[in-house]
Amino acid sequence: MGTVIPISNQDRYRSQPNNNSSRPLADQPTAEPHDGALLDAYSAAVIEVVDKISPTVVKIEVSHHIPRRRGNQREENISGSGSGVIFTPDGFILTNSHVVHKAAAISATLSDGRNFKASLIGDDPFTDLAVIRIDPAFGGAGMQNLPAAILGDSQAIRIGQLVIAIGNPFGFQATVTAGVVSALGRSLRSGGGRLIDNVIQTDAALNPGNSGGPLVNSRGEVIGINTAMIPWAQGICFSIPVNTAKFIAARLMKDGRITRACLGIGGQVLDIAKPALRAHQLTGSRGVMIASIEHGGAAEKAGSLEGDVIIDFNDTRVESIDDLHRLLTSDMIGREVHLTVLRMEKKIALVIVPEELPGQ
Protein backbone atom coordinates (compact mmCIF):
# COMPACT_ATOMS: atom_id res chain seq x y z
CA MET A 1 0.00 0.00 0.00
CA GLY A 2 1.47 3.40 -1.05
CA THR A 3 1.92 6.45 1.12
CA VAL A 4 -1.11 8.73 1.51
CA ILE A 5 -0.22 12.37 1.00
CA PRO A 6 -2.63 14.80 2.75
CA ILE A 7 -4.09 17.61 0.61
CA SER A 8 -4.48 21.03 2.18
CA ASN A 9 -7.63 23.10 1.77
CA GLN A 10 -5.68 25.48 -0.42
CA ASP A 11 -4.47 22.65 -2.63
CA ARG A 12 -8.00 21.23 -2.81
CA TYR A 13 -9.30 24.64 -3.95
CA ARG A 14 -6.61 24.86 -6.60
CA SER A 15 -7.23 21.37 -7.86
CA GLN A 16 -10.87 22.12 -8.71
CA PRO A 17 -11.56 23.34 -12.26
CA ASN A 18 -12.74 26.93 -12.72
CA ASN A 19 -14.41 27.56 -16.05
CA ASN A 20 -15.31 31.20 -15.33
CA SER A 21 -12.18 32.95 -14.14
CA SER A 22 -8.98 32.37 -12.24
CA ARG A 23 -9.79 35.31 -9.96
CA PRO A 24 -11.78 34.98 -6.71
CA LEU A 25 -15.47 35.88 -6.96
CA ALA A 26 -15.00 39.11 -4.95
CA ASP A 27 -12.70 40.44 -7.66
CA GLN A 28 -15.22 39.90 -10.45
CA PRO A 29 -16.50 43.18 -11.99
CA THR A 30 -20.22 43.89 -11.36
CA ALA A 31 -22.52 44.56 -14.29
CA GLU A 32 -23.63 48.20 -14.30
CA PRO A 33 -25.71 50.08 -16.86
CA HIS A 34 -23.58 52.15 -19.17
CA ASP A 35 -24.08 55.92 -18.76
CA GLY A 36 -24.30 56.25 -22.51
CA ALA A 37 -27.19 53.80 -22.62
CA LEU A 38 -29.10 55.79 -19.98
CA LEU A 39 -28.55 59.03 -21.88
CA ASP A 40 -29.61 57.40 -25.13
CA ALA A 41 -32.84 56.19 -23.48
CA TYR A 42 -33.52 59.67 -22.09
CA SER A 43 -32.85 61.28 -25.46
CA ALA A 44 -35.03 58.74 -27.25
CA ALA A 45 -37.91 59.43 -24.86
CA VAL A 46 -37.67 63.21 -25.36
CA ILE A 47 -37.34 62.89 -29.15
CA GLU A 48 -40.39 60.60 -29.34
CA VAL A 49 -42.50 63.03 -27.32
CA VAL A 50 -41.36 66.04 -29.36
CA ASP A 51 -42.17 64.27 -32.63
CA LYS A 52 -45.63 63.49 -31.26
CA ILE A 53 -46.57 66.83 -29.71
CA SER A 54 -44.77 69.45 -31.86
CA PRO A 55 -47.37 69.41 -34.68
CA THR A 56 -50.04 70.45 -32.14
CA VAL A 57 -48.13 73.47 -30.77
CA VAL A 58 -48.86 76.86 -32.32
CA LYS A 59 -47.34 80.31 -32.10
CA ILE A 60 -49.94 82.92 -31.16
CA GLU A 61 -49.52 86.56 -32.14
CA VAL A 62 -51.83 89.29 -30.88
CA SER A 63 -52.26 93.03 -31.27
CA HIS A 64 -53.84 95.49 -28.87
CA HIS A 65 -55.21 98.95 -29.60
CA ILE A 66 -54.11 101.15 -26.71
CA PRO A 67 -55.71 104.63 -26.45
CA ARG A 68 -53.13 107.41 -26.65
CA ARG A 69 -53.36 111.18 -26.69
CA ARG A 70 -50.17 112.17 -28.42
CA GLY A 71 -50.68 114.81 -31.10
CA ASN A 72 -53.01 113.47 -33.78
CA GLN A 73 -52.41 109.89 -32.66
CA ARG A 74 -55.42 108.59 -30.76
CA GLU A 75 -54.38 104.97 -30.38
CA GLU A 76 -51.28 102.81 -30.56
CA ASN A 77 -51.00 99.22 -31.73
CA ILE A 78 -49.00 97.00 -29.41
CA SER A 79 -48.14 93.44 -30.43
CA GLY A 80 -47.34 90.40 -28.34
CA SER A 81 -46.88 86.67 -28.72
CA GLY A 82 -47.28 83.42 -26.87
CA SER A 83 -47.94 79.74 -27.40
CA GLY A 84 -50.90 77.41 -27.55
CA VAL A 85 -51.77 73.77 -28.09
CA ILE A 86 -54.44 72.40 -30.44
CA PHE A 87 -56.69 70.01 -28.52
CA THR A 88 -59.44 69.28 -31.07
CA PRO A 89 -59.07 68.37 -34.77
CA ASP A 90 -61.31 71.30 -35.77
CA GLY A 91 -58.96 73.97 -34.47
CA PHE A 92 -59.73 74.72 -30.81
CA ILE A 93 -56.57 75.86 -29.01
CA LEU A 94 -55.74 76.13 -25.30
CA THR A 95 -53.56 79.01 -24.18
CA ASN A 96 -53.17 81.53 -21.35
CA SER A 97 -55.66 84.29 -20.68
CA HIS A 98 -52.87 86.83 -20.32
CA VAL A 99 -51.71 86.04 -23.87
CA VAL A 100 -55.03 86.88 -25.58
CA HIS A 101 -57.05 88.91 -23.05
CA LYS A 102 -58.71 91.92 -24.75
CA ALA A 103 -56.70 91.37 -27.94
CA ALA A 104 -57.93 93.31 -31.00
CA ALA A 105 -56.60 90.65 -33.38
CA ILE A 106 -55.27 87.11 -32.93
CA SER A 107 -53.40 84.86 -35.35
CA ALA A 108 -52.01 81.34 -34.99
CA THR A 109 -49.03 79.89 -36.86
CA LEU A 110 -48.96 76.11 -37.17
CA SER A 111 -45.83 74.00 -36.99
CA ASP A 112 -45.83 73.65 -40.80
CA GLY A 113 -45.64 77.44 -41.16
CA ARG A 114 -49.26 78.12 -42.14
CA ASN A 115 -50.67 81.23 -40.49
CA PHE A 116 -54.39 81.77 -39.82
CA LYS A 117 -56.62 84.31 -38.15
CA ALA A 118 -58.11 83.09 -34.89
CA SER A 119 -61.03 84.18 -32.74
CA LEU A 120 -61.36 84.28 -28.97
CA ILE A 121 -63.88 81.73 -27.71
CA GLY A 122 -63.48 82.82 -24.10
CA ASP A 123 -60.92 83.48 -21.40
CA ASP A 124 -60.77 83.28 -17.62
CA PRO A 125 -58.22 85.59 -15.98
CA PHE A 126 -58.79 83.90 -12.61
CA THR A 127 -57.23 80.63 -13.84
CA ASP A 128 -55.14 82.28 -16.60
CA LEU A 129 -56.70 80.02 -19.22
CA ALA A 130 -58.27 80.80 -22.58
CA VAL A 131 -59.63 79.03 -25.64
CA ILE A 132 -59.19 80.40 -29.15
CA ARG A 133 -60.14 78.84 -32.47
CA ILE A 134 -58.62 79.02 -35.91
CA ASP A 135 -61.26 80.60 -38.11
CA PRO A 136 -62.60 77.81 -40.38
CA ALA A 137 -63.38 80.41 -43.07
CA PHE A 138 -59.64 80.93 -43.55
CA GLY A 139 -58.62 77.30 -43.03
CA GLY A 140 -61.08 75.57 -45.33
CA ALA A 141 -61.60 71.83 -45.20
CA GLY A 142 -58.09 71.31 -43.84
CA MET A 143 -59.19 72.76 -40.51
CA GLN A 144 -61.33 69.70 -39.84
CA ASN A 145 -58.39 67.32 -39.51
CA LEU A 146 -55.68 69.14 -37.57
CA PRO A 147 -53.23 67.25 -35.34
CA ALA A 148 -54.63 67.39 -31.80
CA ALA A 149 -52.83 66.78 -28.52
CA ILE A 150 -54.02 64.18 -26.03
CA LEU A 151 -55.02 65.76 -22.71
CA GLY A 152 -53.80 63.55 -19.86
CA ASP A 153 -54.60 63.36 -16.15
CA SER A 154 -52.81 65.80 -13.85
CA GLN A 155 -53.90 63.76 -10.82
CA ALA A 156 -51.49 61.03 -11.91
CA ILE A 157 -48.43 63.31 -11.84
CA ARG A 158 -45.59 62.38 -9.48
CA ILE A 159 -42.79 64.55 -8.16
CA GLY A 160 -39.58 63.77 -10.02
CA GLN A 161 -41.15 62.52 -13.25
CA LEU A 162 -39.82 63.66 -16.61
CA VAL A 163 -41.66 66.57 -18.24
CA ILE A 164 -41.13 68.40 -21.52
CA ALA A 165 -42.21 71.95 -22.35
CA ILE A 166 -42.66 73.21 -25.90
CA GLY A 167 -43.32 76.82 -26.85
CA ASN A 168 -42.08 79.91 -28.61
CA PRO A 169 -39.87 81.87 -26.19
CA PHE A 170 -38.90 85.29 -27.53
CA GLY A 171 -40.47 84.26 -30.85
CA PHE A 172 -38.18 81.25 -31.40
CA GLN A 173 -40.75 78.77 -32.66
CA ALA A 174 -41.02 75.18 -31.40
CA THR A 175 -38.38 75.45 -28.66
CA VAL A 176 -38.07 72.35 -26.46
CA THR A 177 -36.96 72.25 -22.82
CA ALA A 178 -37.01 69.28 -20.46
CA GLY A 179 -36.88 68.77 -16.73
CA VAL A 180 -38.78 67.17 -13.89
CA VAL A 181 -41.82 67.92 -11.76
CA SER A 182 -40.28 69.82 -8.85
CA ALA A 183 -43.36 70.10 -6.64
CA LEU A 184 -47.14 69.71 -6.67
CA GLY A 185 -49.99 71.53 -4.96
CA ARG A 186 -48.49 75.00 -5.29
CA SER A 187 -50.71 78.09 -5.32
CA LEU A 188 -50.18 80.95 -7.75
CA ARG A 189 -51.79 84.39 -7.73
CA SER A 190 -53.57 85.04 -11.03
CA GLY A 191 -53.84 88.36 -12.81
CA GLY A 192 -57.44 88.49 -11.62
CA GLY A 193 -56.29 88.41 -7.99
CA ARG A 194 -57.48 84.93 -7.06
CA LEU A 195 -55.30 81.99 -6.15
CA ILE A 196 -54.91 79.20 -8.70
CA ASP A 197 -54.71 75.98 -6.69
CA ASN A 198 -52.78 72.74 -7.36
CA VAL A 199 -50.30 74.41 -9.69
CA ILE A 200 -47.44 72.25 -11.02
CA GLN A 201 -43.90 73.47 -10.33
CA THR A 202 -41.24 72.35 -12.80
CA ASP A 203 -37.63 73.12 -13.63
CA ALA A 204 -38.23 72.81 -17.39
CA ALA A 205 -37.06 76.26 -18.48
CA LEU A 206 -39.76 78.75 -19.47
CA ASN A 207 -39.27 82.22 -20.93
CA PRO A 208 -41.55 84.98 -22.23
CA GLY A 209 -43.37 83.47 -25.20
CA ASN A 210 -43.64 80.00 -23.61
CA SER A 211 -46.90 81.08 -21.98
CA GLY A 212 -49.81 78.92 -23.10
CA GLY A 213 -47.67 76.08 -24.42
CA PRO A 214 -48.06 72.50 -23.21
CA LEU A 215 -46.22 70.69 -20.44
CA VAL A 216 -46.07 67.06 -21.53
CA ASN A 217 -45.27 63.73 -19.86
CA SER A 218 -43.09 60.95 -21.29
CA ARG A 219 -46.12 59.44 -23.09
CA GLY A 220 -46.73 62.65 -25.01
CA GLU A 221 -49.86 63.58 -23.01
CA VAL A 222 -50.47 67.20 -22.02
CA ILE A 223 -50.46 67.44 -18.23
CA GLY A 224 -50.28 71.22 -17.85
CA ILE A 225 -50.48 74.59 -19.58
CA ASN A 226 -47.33 76.61 -18.97
CA THR A 227 -48.17 79.93 -17.38
CA ALA A 228 -45.43 81.64 -15.39
CA MET A 229 -41.88 81.77 -14.18
CA ILE A 230 -40.13 83.64 -11.39
CA PRO A 231 -37.82 86.00 -13.29
CA TRP A 232 -35.32 86.49 -10.46
CA ALA A 233 -34.99 82.71 -9.85
CA GLN A 234 -33.60 79.85 -11.90
CA GLY A 235 -35.56 76.67 -12.52
CA ILE A 236 -38.81 77.72 -10.84
CA CYS A 237 -41.62 77.64 -13.39
CA PHE A 238 -45.33 76.90 -13.12
CA SER A 239 -48.06 75.20 -15.15
CA ILE A 240 -51.83 75.09 -14.72
CA PRO A 241 -52.85 71.42 -14.26
CA VAL A 242 -54.60 69.97 -17.30
CA ASN A 243 -57.59 68.77 -15.26
CA THR A 244 -58.33 72.41 -14.44
CA ALA A 245 -57.78 73.31 -18.10
CA LYS A 246 -60.23 70.64 -19.29
CA PHE A 247 -62.95 71.92 -16.95
CA ILE A 248 -62.42 75.58 -17.86
CA ALA A 249 -62.14 74.84 -21.61
CA ALA A 250 -65.43 72.92 -21.61
CA ARG A 251 -67.22 75.82 -19.90
CA LEU A 252 -65.68 78.41 -22.23
CA MET A 253 -66.63 76.39 -25.31
CA LYS A 254 -70.19 76.06 -24.02
CA ASP A 255 -70.84 79.52 -22.58
CA GLY A 256 -67.88 81.67 -23.62
CA ARG A 257 -67.23 82.68 -20.00
CA ILE A 258 -66.87 81.42 -16.45
CA THR A 259 -69.39 82.69 -13.91
CA ARG A 260 -68.50 83.20 -10.26
CA ALA A 261 -70.40 84.50 -7.26
CA CYS A 262 -69.57 87.61 -5.23
CA LEU A 263 -70.75 89.27 -2.04
CA GLY A 264 -70.25 92.87 -3.11
CA ILE A 265 -67.60 93.69 -0.54
CA GLY A 266 -63.98 94.71 -0.28
CA GLY A 267 -62.22 92.80 2.47
CA GLN A 268 -58.96 92.41 4.33
CA VAL A 269 -57.61 89.70 6.60
CA LEU A 270 -57.74 90.56 10.29
CA ASP A 271 -56.36 88.87 13.42
CA ILE A 272 -59.22 88.28 15.83
CA ALA A 273 -58.60 89.24 19.45
CA LYS A 274 -57.94 86.27 21.74
CA PRO A 275 -60.83 87.05 24.12
CA ALA A 276 -63.24 86.90 21.17
CA LEU A 277 -61.70 83.63 19.99
CA ARG A 278 -62.19 82.11 23.43
CA ALA A 279 -65.67 83.58 23.94
CA HIS A 280 -66.99 82.16 20.67
CA GLN A 281 -64.81 79.02 20.70
CA LEU A 282 -63.39 79.74 17.25
CA THR A 283 -60.79 77.60 15.57
CA GLY A 284 -58.01 79.46 13.80
CA SER A 285 -57.14 83.06 14.59
CA ARG A 286 -58.25 85.18 11.63
CA GLY A 287 -61.28 86.44 9.77
CA VAL A 288 -62.11 88.70 6.82
CA MET A 289 -63.04 92.23 7.81
CA ILE A 290 -65.48 94.02 5.50
CA ALA A 291 -63.57 97.16 4.55
CA SER A 292 -66.07 98.44 1.97
CA ILE A 293 -69.55 97.58 0.73
CA GLU A 294 -70.85 98.06 -2.81
CA HIS A 295 -74.03 100.09 -2.98
CA GLY A 296 -76.95 97.85 -3.86
CA GLY A 297 -74.82 94.71 -3.66
CA ALA A 298 -75.55 91.43 -1.92
CA ALA A 299 -73.81 92.38 1.33
CA GLU A 300 -75.70 95.67 1.68
CA LYS A 301 -79.02 93.93 1.04
CA ALA A 302 -78.19 91.37 3.74
CA GLY A 303 -77.54 94.08 6.35
CA SER A 304 -73.75 93.81 6.50
CA LEU A 305 -71.81 96.75 7.93
CA GLU A 306 -68.30 98.00 7.35
CA GLY A 307 -66.14 96.61 10.14
CA ASP A 308 -67.99 93.27 10.34
CA VAL A 309 -65.56 90.35 10.45
CA ILE A 310 -66.67 87.31 8.44
CA ILE A 311 -65.82 84.11 10.28
CA ASP A 312 -68.17 81.53 8.75
CA PHE A 313 -69.75 80.87 5.34
CA ASN A 314 -72.41 78.14 5.29
CA ASP A 315 -70.85 76.37 8.30
CA THR A 316 -67.35 76.59 6.81
CA ARG A 317 -64.74 78.53 8.78
CA VAL A 318 -63.34 81.52 6.86
CA GLU A 319 -59.87 82.86 7.65
CA SER A 320 -58.81 84.52 4.40
CA ILE A 321 -60.11 86.17 1.25
CA ASP A 322 -58.92 83.11 -0.66
CA ASP A 323 -61.19 80.96 1.52
CA LEU A 324 -64.12 83.12 0.41
CA HIS A 325 -63.09 82.91 -3.25
CA ARG A 326 -63.04 79.11 -3.11
CA LEU A 327 -66.52 79.06 -1.60
CA LEU A 328 -68.07 81.60 -3.99
CA THR A 329 -68.60 79.21 -6.90
CA SER A 330 -71.14 79.70 -9.67
CA ASP A 331 -73.72 77.45 -8.00
CA MET A 332 -73.94 79.98 -5.13
CA ILE A 333 -75.37 82.69 -7.40
CA GLY A 334 -78.95 83.53 -6.38
CA ARG A 335 -78.93 81.02 -3.53
CA GLU A 336 -79.41 81.91 0.14
CA VAL A 337 -76.32 81.23 2.24
CA HIS A 338 -75.65 81.77 5.94
CA LEU A 339 -72.93 84.23 6.83
CA THR A 340 -71.64 84.59 10.38
CA VAL A 341 -69.83 87.79 11.36
CA LEU A 342 -68.36 89.32 14.47
CA ARG A 343 -69.76 92.79 15.15
CA MET A 344 -68.44 94.62 18.21
CA GLU A 345 -67.41 91.27 19.74
CA LYS A 346 -70.91 89.85 19.15
CA LYS A 347 -71.64 86.99 16.80
CA ILE A 348 -74.27 87.94 14.20
CA ALA A 349 -75.97 85.57 11.75
CA LEU A 350 -76.89 86.97 8.33
CA VAL A 351 -78.64 85.49 5.32
CA ILE A 352 -77.05 86.66 2.06
CA VAL A 353 -77.77 85.92 -1.59
CA PRO A 354 -74.51 86.07 -3.63
CA GLU A 355 -74.72 87.70 -7.04
CA GLU A 356 -72.80 87.09 -10.24
CA LEU A 357 -69.38 88.68 -10.27
CA PRO A 358 -69.65 91.58 -12.72
CA GLY A 359 -67.35 91.90 -15.69
CA GLN A 360 -67.14 88.16 -16.36
Reported as a single tens digit per residue, the pLDDT across 181-206 is 999 988 888 877 778 888 999 999 88
Per the residue annotation, which of 123, 124, 128, 312 is the catalytic one?
128
Per the residue annotation, which of 98, 107, 154, 304 is the catalytic one?
98
Give me the torsion for CA of 165, 168, 172, 176, rounded to 10°. 10
Please tell me the predicted confidence (pLDDT) of residue 11: 42
Hey, what domains does the chain have and what are their CATH numbers? 54-144 (2.40.10.10), 150-255 (2.40.10.10), 261-356 (2.30.42.10)
Whole-angstrom CA distances from 198 to 159, 195, 240, 241 are 13, 10, 8, 7
Instruction: Note the pTM of the prediction, 2 decimals.
Output: 0.77
* Cα separation, 328 vs 45, whole angstroms: 43
Q: Which segment of 63-67, 134-138, 222-226, 294-298 scores lowest on mean pLDDT?
A: 134-138
Please tell me the predicted confidence (pLDDT) of residue 41: 83
Mean per-residue pLDDT, 52-67: 90
- Please give the residue that has the higher pLDDT: either 220 or 19: 220
Please tell me the predicted confidence (pLDDT) of residue 185: 87
Please tell me the predicted confidence (pLDDT) of residue 322: 87
- 315-340 confidence digits (pLDDT tens): 999 999 889 988 998 899 999 999 99
- Phi/psi at 306 (nearest 5 deg)? -60, 135
Please tell me the predicted confidence (pLDDT) of residue 65: 82
- 131-163 confidence digits (pLDDT tens): 999 977 665 555 668 999 999 999 899 999 999
Per cent of the chain over pLDDT 70 is 83
For the question of residue 98 being annotated catalytic, the response is yes
Please tell me the predicted confidence (pLDDT) of residue 4: 43
pLDDT for residue 5 is more than 70:
no
- 232-289 confidence digits (pLDDT tens): 667 789 999 999 999 999 999 999 988 899 999 999 999 999 999 999 999 989 999 9
Give me the torsion for CA of 190, 192, 197, 200, rounded to 10°. -30
For the question of residue 128 being annotated catalytic, the response is yes
For the question of residue 153 being annotated catalytic, the response is no
Q: Please provide the distance, in angstroms rounded to a whole number, between the alpha carbons at the two ends of the chain.
A: 112
Q: Is residue 74 very low, low, confident or very high in pLDDT (cuts 50, 70, 90)?
A: low
Please tell me the predicted confidence (pLDDT) of residue 170: 74
Please tell me the predicted confidence (pLDDT) of residue 22: 46
Please tell me the predicted confidence (pLDDT) of residue 143: 63
Per the residue annotation, which of 154, 182, 211, 304 is the catalytic one?
211
Please tell me the predicted confidence (pLDDT) of residue 357: 86
Q: Are 341 and 328 in contact (CB under 8 A)?
A: no
